[in-house]
Amino acid sequence: MARNRHNIGFMAVDAIAARHGFSPWRARFRGMVAEGRIGTEKLLLLKPMTYMNLSGESVQEAAAFFKIEPAGITVFHDELDIAPGAVRMKKGGGHAGHNGLRSIDRHLSTPEYWRVRLGIGHPGDKARVTGHVLSDFSKAETWLAPLLDDVAANADLLATGKTEEFCARVKQA
């Protein structure tokens, strides 16, 4: 499951933790957490270990414990409707059928959190979507490692609220 398209959000968070020397991952809030600093900003990284369609439970528990408002949360997730390797950001909006986002919306009682939408591309046929999303990245998809490196290298911009600059600096496919 580590190189699965549906796990690209976890892959991005892992890259941030590794690049910025975060604590080792440990079990907490029905997920795995790592703590650290990027510049002067103290951050908590969370990878929910619930089923995808229940990930909001984990996010809500962590947010409640640390008193984090939805606007202070950034979710990294796979996005079918964006070209492979492209990145877009937005605050709020609909879940577009993404069960993880649907769960987070429900448990935070608002969709007003930040989303880093990591493009995995659409297979072209609706009947092939599930298989595509649940398949692993191939070695031929050489855009993946540079994308994850760019996300981690520019995480300081996210931590300080410079979302437009983050998107401008992260290489686009």
Which are the catalytic amino acids?
6
**Angle 99-108/55-66 helices, nearest 10 degrees?**
40
Instruction: Decide if 137 contacts 111 (C-beta within 8 A).
Output: no
Question: Six-digit token pair at 68?
Answer: 């984090």
Q: Three-state DSSP class for 2?
A: coil
Q: For 29, phi and psi rounded to 5 degrees?
A: 55, 40
Q: Three-state DSSP class for 98?
A: coil
Strand arrangement of the beta sheet that strand 114-119 belongs to:
74-79, 114-119, 87-91
97 sits in the region (left: phi over 0; alpha: psi -120 to 50; else beta) called: left
Q: Three-state DSSP class for 156?
A: helix
Q: For 34, phi and psi rounded to 5 degrees?
A: -135, 140
